[in-house]
Amino acid sequence: MKKNYEPKSTEVDIYKRWEDSGFFEAKPDESKEPFCIMIPPPNVTGTLHMGHGFQNTLMDALIRFKRMSGYDTLWQVGVDHAGIATQMVVERQLEIEGTSREEIGREQFEKKVWDWKEKSGNKITQQLRRLGASVDWSREAFTMSDDLSLAVKQVFIKLYDEGLIYRGERLVNWDTVLGTALSDLEVSSEEENGFLWYIDYLTENNNKITVATTRPETLLGDTAIAVNPEDHKFKKLIGKKAIVPIVNREIPIISDDYVDSDFGTGCVKITPAHDFNDFEMGKRHKLPIINILNFDGTLNETTPDQYHGLSVNEARDLILKELEDLGQLKKTEPYRVQIPRSERSNSILQPLVTNQWFVNVKTLSEEAIRVVKDDETQFVPKNWENTYFNWMDDIQDWCISRQLWWGHRIPAWFDSEGNIYVGESEEGVRKKYKLDARELQQEDDVLDTWFSSALWTFSTLGWPKDENLLSRYHPTSVLVTGFDIIFFWVARMIMMTTHFINEVPFKKILIHGLIKDSEGQKMSKSKGNTLDPLDIIDGIDLDSLLEKRTDGLMQPKMKEQIIKQTKKEFPEGIKSYGTDALRLTFCSLASGGRDINFDIKRVEGYRNFCNKLWNAARFIDLNIANFGIADNRSKTEIDAWIDYKFNETLKKVNKSFDEYRFDLATKAIYEFIWYEFCDWFIEMHKISFSEENINPSEVVRSMVHVLEKTLRLAHPIMPFITEEIWNQFKNHHQSSSKSLMLCDYPQEAKNCIEDDFKRIEWLKAIVSGIRNIRGELSIKPSIKIAATFKGGNSGDELNLDKVSSYVKKLSSLKSINWTNNESQDPPSSIFTLGKLKVMIPLEGLIDAKEESERLNKKINKISKEKEMLSSKLSNKNFTENAPKELVESQKDRFSTLEIELENLNRQMTEIKKLI
């Protein structure tokens, strides 16, 4: 074996071997229990971010665990066509080429998108490979493929025929930059600084009524003024008329419970065409709808001539000037305004009345709510179902049409009279509706990307074709996803799947938190705190990292701040840590739905862990050369003990995987490998090589045996290094598998009894106690010291008799003296194990005065902390109101301090005897 493990040069080769050998492919086998995971399809335009890395690591660990545990596994992979994002990318390319989609036409534009997809659109799938994702690439799906497009058409047609899809004129969120409607879920609303303008409207008897608004430009479309019926100030005005300034249109003054009397003056202007609440009020009061906007966000010809073609902001400025000139702008106040922005273009959205296609999701939601209530599908953690129910109970019809060219074109045709015909093709429509030769025109709009994604679990398995894998792999076993797409995707999948194939899409829904930076801040380009998983895996120099973090940033101050922050955080760039170290980090942080603070130092710690495992394997490999390897393993108490420890770890790991506690599985594996396997098993057996009556080659066999099953145990979480070590030992372990990933996962043993090897735990406790004393007294490992054992029982004497050579060598002792003499003990540093007292005589080992001063400082420091904690724990305000976990941790700390203080005082007593 090489001296050092080199992940960068090793991992790519290992993955290629796995993929080329077809090891990831599902092989339907009725004799095995199925286990299926559907990858949340990333956008075809996307690149791997930390959230993807985290999510896919969890899925891969789970699928590898189940594959090795004998399940018939399928991890379905695929990408989403990402209608808006992809169209934007290709339109930008056309702009660079000096043309546009309108110039080249729809057919040529679609061809351009497909060309882009083939050349540049699969970057994220290559990145998934680098992460080690063992997905079935032979079944890679694409939401615009022929098979999935067929499923989309079938679903649309059936829902339309059932009256669950309809076309109607509704107020929608309109993105004026992209020129399309968006669903409510594609809108992000945040408070921004704005103003509240108070405008005087004249009433029919030439009095004034003042309204407050944050959008004065919309007054051009006002069709009413509204007051609350309980507001006595305005009761006399209800039923009267007011005049809209500038356009001089007469509008009614109406009453409606929705009006908040505390907002502004208590009077509000009503613009049904450009405000969602006003639209609903307009329906209740049968108000006319006056649309003042073009699709590009400029003002249209329903407005006065001077406003035609102005942008919203330009129109606002002119309105305010005209109102001021008229003396009807009463006052202006600063105000925090909720601004709806497009999550795609970041432009301010305009509510606009347009003809769109909608799904009646209220009807579909009933079964989707029931299956969660009846635990047919379960959220993990369970509390996320409350979020699901809250949204489902108040669900609004889903706007599914988008004014784009890239996507599933809606399978609907219109005749010259506006009649709608829905079917798979024009020929199919004519046959279905028995139409004559009248001219038909297909709908230009495409479907919302999330419409095809909602069919993901059953369309990727072959539906609606007769030959499909639904009976084998559906419902799928678990969906691993972030809470941020419960509404976008999870709820819609449940609705569509229960409606079309009468079963849930997945049995469990594992919800994970967001990956944040080490300070708990959300990662974003503007904050300059984003990390690329591949940079952590393969490393990146400082200049390249700075270029990546500042690319596209326009503000010099922000750029300067990010450069400064990055240089401080990564003065030499990011080192190459390898995939396994990153995967271990992700799994160690997956603790049940909470947001995750990511710290690169943790990755460094897990890289050291990988190196520790590699060095242990290399030591074993060297000793095969030194001693050979026997057919049978040694059967010492050390071997029995490590088998027991392994079995206990295996139980913890199995339980953790079953409960989706990847953090606990990682912890159990880490502690076994680092502490039990490396620090104790190998260290003890180093001594066994020179012991009489122990065959070194059998010890080597035992080491190889334990290493091999440890590699199988750890493989799902750290697949690359375990595969590489396993291959290094393939001539020595007794497995016929072509790869570690195809080996059986270890089986729990039923006959491991702790009583059979308690002596090893006794040995560990003695050695640890002596090592602690050496550490406290700063005695170098090279200095051999004496130890005196006193008291105890016959069991302690027997233990020492059996393992004294191990105690001496592991503790670096020159001698062990056993005494039951009742005379005064020499000044010693002491620890106890039961009734056994282990003493390290201090004379000649330390400078008593110097050690006394050091201990005094430590005793004072701990005493102060103990006193502070005592005061805190005596305070009922803290114990009754602080989080339970915090109170418990403080109590544990107090107990630890008590023990530590007791030991220090005992040491001080002994040292004083030497002064």
- Please, what is the Cα angle at 341 between 339 and 345, to 5 degrees? 155
pLDDT (0 to 100) of residue 554: 66
Q: If we measure between CA atoms, which residue out of 661, 644, 683 comes closest to residue 590?
A: 661
* Rounded-to-integer distance, Cα 332 and Cα 336, Å: 13
Residues 840-863: what's their mean pLDDT?
Answer: 86
* Rounded-to-integer distance, Cα 329 and Cα 317, Å: 12
Using CB atoms within 10 A of its CB, is residue 712 exposed (0-12), middle (13-18) or buried (19+)?
buried
For helices 794-811 and 758-776, what crossing angle results, to 10°? 50
pLDDT (0 to 100) of residue 333: 94
For 242: left if phi > 0, alpha if psi spans -120 to 50, otherwise beta; the answer is: beta
Residues 417-443: what's their mean pLDDT?
Answer: 94
pLDDT (0 to 100) of residue 826: 80
User: By percentage, how much of the chain surpasses pLDDT 90?
Assistant: 74
- Quick one: tokens of 483? 């809470």
Indicate the pTM of the whole model.
Answer: 0.86
b/e string for 480-500 if b means 16 or more Cβ within 10 A? bbbbebbbbbbbbbbbbbbbb
pLDDT (0 to 100) of residue 755: 66
Find out whether 524 and 51 touch, Cβ atoms under 8 Å.
no
For 261-270, 556-565, 644-653, 795-804, which range has the lowest pLDDT when averaged over its residues? 556-565
Structural Rg of the chain based on CA atoms:
36
- In this predicted structure, the answer to whether residue 692 has a pLDDT above a threshold of 90 is no
Residues 89-93: what's their mean pLDDT?
Answer: 91
The residues, any chain, with a CB within 8 Å of residue 882's CB and separated by 6 or more, are none
For 84, the enclosing helix (H) or strand (E) is helix 83-96
Find out whether 277 and 284 touch, Cβ atoms under 8 Å.
no
* Rounded-to-integer distance, Cα 333 and Cα 277, Å: 23
pLDDT (0 to 100) of residue 756: 61
For helices 556-569 and 542-550, what crossing angle results, to 10°? 150
Dihedral, CA atoms, 178, 182, 186, 188, nearest 10 degrees? 80
Q: If we measure between CA atoms, which residue out of 483, 380, 507 comes closest to residue 37?
A: 507
**Strands 180-182 and 836-841: what pairing?**
unpaired
- In this predicted structure, the answer to whether residue 786 has a pLDDT above a threshold of 80 is yes
Report the Cα 865 to chain-centroid distance in Å: 38
* Rounded-to-integer distance, Cα 525 and Cα 550, Å: 8
- In this predicted structure, the answer to whether residue 850 has a pLDDT above a threshold of 90 is no
- In this predicted structure, the answer to whether residue 193 has a pLDDT above a threshold of 70 is yes
pLDDT (0 to 100) of residue 914: 78
For 173-182, 656-665, 672-681, which range has the lowest pLDDT when averaged over its residues? 173-182
Q: What is the DSSP string of 707-718?
A: HHHHHHHHTTTS
- In this predicted structure, the answer to whether residue 753 has a pLDDT above a threshold of 80 is no
Find out whether 23 and 60 touch, Cβ atoms under 8 Å.
no
How does pLDDT run across 274-307, given as a tens digit for each residue?
999 999 999 999 999 999 999 999 999 999 999 9
Provide the 8-state DSSP code for 826.
Answer: P
Q: If we measure between CA atoms, which residue out of 712, 716, 737, 734 comes closest to residue 725?
A: 712
pLDDT (0 to 100) of residue 758: 87
Residues 716-732: what's their mean pLDDT?
Answer: 95
* Rounded-to-integer distance, Cα 489 and Cα 42, Å: 12
- Beta pairing partners, 196: 333
* Rounded-to-integer distance, Cα 68 and Cα 70, Å: 5
* Rounded-to-integer distance, Cα 729 and Cα 715, Å: 15
* Rounded-to-integer distance, Cα 52 and Cα 61, Å: 14
From residue 799, alpha-carbon distances to 685, 689, 758, 806, 807 in Å are 17, 20, 9, 11, 10
Residues 422-449: what's their mean pLDDT?
Answer: 94
- Quick one: tokens of 427? 């020929």
